Structure 1
Amino acid sequence: MDKSKIILLILLSILALLCVGCIENSTISAKTTINAESVEDYDISTANNAFAFDMYSMIKNEDENVFFSPYSIFTAMAICYDGAEGSTKEQMSNVFYYPLSKPVLEGSSKEMIGIINSGSEYYSLETANALWVRNSYPLNEQFVSNSKTYYGGKVTNVDFRNEPEKSKDIINEWVASKTNDKIKDLISDDMIEPDSTVMIITNAVYFKGKWLNEFDVGNTQKEPFYNSSSNKEETLVDMMYTEEYFSYGESEDAKIIELPYKGNDLSMYIVLPNENNIADFESRFTHSEYGKLKSTLESSNDVRIWLPKFTFTTNSELVDPLKNMGIIDAFDRENADFSGIFDIQRVPPGYVLKIDEVVHQAFIDVNEEGTEATAATAIEATDDAPMPGQIMEFKADHPFMFFIEDQRTGCILFMGKVEDPEYEKMS
């Protein structure tokens, strides 16, 4: 029996350069979104954000930085979902909160991509999809059409069988061009298997922006940062400082602040636990709790903020996390059903196409001039907001979580945790 595989590559580059300006809390909304019968009924941002917290719970590591793009993963897998059937489709729907109606997801995805790629004079934000397909592979024409129409996924034929090295170089060049050369050589020498690789799907998200209120470089000083590990001494880091009017909120467990970017379409939300207990905090900080904390935000608070500069790269293999979340058949040699991707009439009986790898790379750089961000919807108001006129203090000198959101859609584009902010400027 012929066995073929898809390699799914999810790429991400998030920049702010000096040179340029858990599942339990998601299932209620999931039932509604999965059964949506129209684009108007489907809240793609809520689905994406619920998935974001589910994935975070799977990939977080104690004493390590975390950074990924739920939107990038959500969108890349949506292309595969377009060709999924049977239990494979059902499992992907349950994990990603995709609607059972594929046309609903297609239309919603097209709208989202259109907003993200709408352009701005204040920042750069772009997402791109591409499908790299083995020469003469019998793709389903409808799958090709949907990929182009709804996801902007250009299909390019490459010779995986006879020229794997050249194929690797072609894809890596595309990756570099879409991520400002921050992600190179993503395709390793042994990733392409000439006898079985038939398709590589790539998704890239790139953002570069400046803070609406930039930090004064002259105020940055070496100050201590206390990470979670009790057997480590305090670390001296480059700590930025400013006093400005920000949206600020707090609960019994944490503080939250919104740092908008120029253009006001994107913001970074920083969630700082009151105690240095990030492992305990993140284990119970769900999608619902995030919404509640955001509902305490009040604008125009005078806030003194200390925030470390940080930059790091993460590399993740997501097959095991996705399996643990409930996607089993898509990776299974016997049960995968992506019959909507290929032309059934042109493959031998018993032909199977499965996903083999899901690779995610991410890069972030936060400094005095910028980074990236965006806001989502508030859930409920509380009485924990500060009184007007107070000067609030937000000192991120211990591990914290952060979110970059698109204010126009309410979609969490990027999500992470800073455990070790030691800053090393990237070229």
Structure 2
Amino acid sequence: IPEEARKEINSWVAAATEKLIDTILPPGSVSTDTGLVVASAIYFNCQWRTPFCKEITEKRAFHRLDGGDVEADFMRSGEDQYIAVHDGFKVLKMPYAARVSARTTAAETPTRYSMYVFLPDERDGLWSLEDRMAAGGEGFLREHTPERRVEVGEFRIPRFKLSFDDGVVGALQRLGVRDVFKPFVADLADVLEAENSGDDPPLFVSDVKHKAVIEVNEEGTEAAAATAVCLTFASAAPSSRRPARVDFVADHPFAFLVVEESSGVVLFAGHVVDPTDE
């Protein structure tokens, strides 16, 4: 029964993401024409290696792309930070605390995850910076990763909570993924190792739903993402010297990545254009 299947998938996603995402498939997204739904989910919850002190968080202006300002809560710190200064932008690396096993100490365990904040020098420089990041491909992060801590002058990062919920078929097609959405062109039964009696029409991807939530505060980061791919039967479809102090004031739009350090895999990616808009 389509509606029962939809509720079961949503229940699985809610459990897999600690209820940070309670639903991925809206009513009507699963019908009798749906042949298969492939769902995936990820949940992330880590504390900073060096948490921020809540007592010194202060409200300051954040400058939006439209020229307006909003009052946001900014986390501050006087600790040295991993910051790299490049032409037109800066990169901040904020490591998360490592998970320590019974046989190792915190000092012996390398940090697995970090958040990288890409801050353009110009208040309206986010889109051009993201274009540079996209053009640089997988090597962009590696080439611009901060290598050491530097003494900071003024340092402010806004707390934020962001969410995204939409279909991503159009985005995938713009990236060149097209054939899987064409009836009678993409028969995915073999790829999915699905049983086919020989009389069943081909399966093709009819919709891809994606939802992501991330919250960044003084303690750390909690994030989750879920994706549901709906497949439909074709017949039914349409130096040695200490460096100078560096300021890092993220009071205008910036991009961020959450990265698994040993593999370089990006778990979450996004940008903040208004930290007060959830």
Name the TM tier (shorter chain).
Answer: 0.7 to 0.9
**Separation in 1, partners of 2:166, 2:178:** 18
Contact 2:56–2:75 (Cα < 8 Å) also in 1: yes
Alignment partner of 1:169 is 2:7: yes
TM-fit CA distance, 1:386: 11
Contact 1:261–1:372 (Cα < 8 Å) also in 2: no
Which residue number corresponds to residue 343 of structure 1? Answer: 195
**Separation in 2, partners of 1:219, 1:423:** 22
**Separation in 1, partners of 2:8, 2:260:** 31
**Separation in 1, partners of 2:212, 2:72:** 22
Change (3 A) 1:367 1:360: same
**Separation in 1, partners of 2:205, 2:185:** 11
- 5 Å-filtered alignment, 1:85-164, equals 163-164=1-2
Which residue number corresponds to residue 144 of structure 2? Answer: 293
Change (3 A) 1:200 1:387: farther
Which residue number corresponds to residue 102 of structure 2? Answer: none
TM-fit CA distance, 1:300: 2.5
TM-fit CA distance, 1:302: 1.8
TM-fit CA distance, 1:228: 1.0
Tell me which of 269, 272, 277 is aligned to 1:415.
269
Q: Which structure dedicates a bigger proportion of its chain to strand?
A: 2
Read off the aligned partner of 2:61 and give its amino acid letter. Answer: P
Which residue number corresponds to residue 221 of structure 2? Answer: 371
Tell me which of 213, 218, 243 is aligned to 2:55.
218
Equivalent position SS for 2:71: strand
TM-score (norm 2): 0.82
TM-fit CA distance, 1:280: 2.3
Which residue number corresponds to residue 130 of structure 2? Answer: 282
**Separation in 2, partners of 1:274, 1:368:** 24
Contact 2:25–2:209 (Cα < 8 Å) also in 1: no
Read off the aligned partner of 2:80 and give its amino acid letter. Answer: Y
Unaligned runs of 5+ in 1: 1-162, 374-384
Which residue number corresponds to residue 273 of structure 1? Answer: 120
Change (3 A) 1:169 1:388: same
Read off the aligned partner of 2:128 and give its amino acid letter. Answer: D
Contact 1:250–1:256 (Cα < 8 Å) also in 2: yes
Contact 2:82–2:92 (Cα < 8 Å) also in 1: yes
**Separation in 2, partners of 1:372, 1:394:** 23
Contact 1:267–1:404 (Cα < 8 Å) also in 2: yes
Deviation sequence 1:113-169 (CA, Å, 0-9, x none): xxxxxxxxxxxxxxxxxxxxxxxxxxxxxxxxxxxxxxxxxxxxxxxxxx2222222
Change (3 A) 1:308 1:386: farther
Change (3 A) 1:416 1:387: farther
Equivalent position SS for 2:268: strand
Count of equivalent residues:
244
Contact 1:210–1:261 (Cα < 8 Å) also in 2: yes
Contact 1:256–1:271 (Cα < 8 Å) also in 2: yes
Which residue number corresponds to residue 247 of structure 2? Answer: 393
Alignment partner of 1:353 is 2:214: no
Tell me which of 167, 180, 184 is aligned to 2:22.
184
Which residue number corresponds to residue 209 of structure 1? Answer: 46
TM-score (norm 1): 0.54
- 5 Å-filtered alignment, 1:51-90, equals none
Which residue number corresponds to residue 53 of structure 1? Answer: none
**Separation in 2, partners of 1:327, 1:185:** 25
Contact 1:268–1:372 (Cα < 8 Å) also in 2: no
Tell me which of 71, 79, 82 is aligned to 1:244.
79
TM-fit CA distance, 1:184: 1.3
Read off the aligned partner of 1:171 and give its amino acid letter. Answer: I
TM-fit CA distance, 1:332: 0.5
TM-fit CA distance, 1:285: 2.6
Contact 2:61–2:72 (Cα < 8 Å) also in 1: yes
TM-fit CA distance, 1:412: 0.9
Unaligned runs of 5+ in 2: 99-110, 224-238
TM-fit CA distance, 1:265: 1.1
Contact 1:219–1:240 (Cα < 8 Å) also in 2: yes
Which residue number corresponds to residue 182 of structure 2? Answer: 332
Q: CA RMSD in A?
A: 2.0
**Separation in 1, partners of 2:268, 2:21:** 16
Deviation sequence 1:334-387 (CA, Å, 0-9, x none): 21121413334x1317x21101111110001000110179xxxxxxxxxxx896
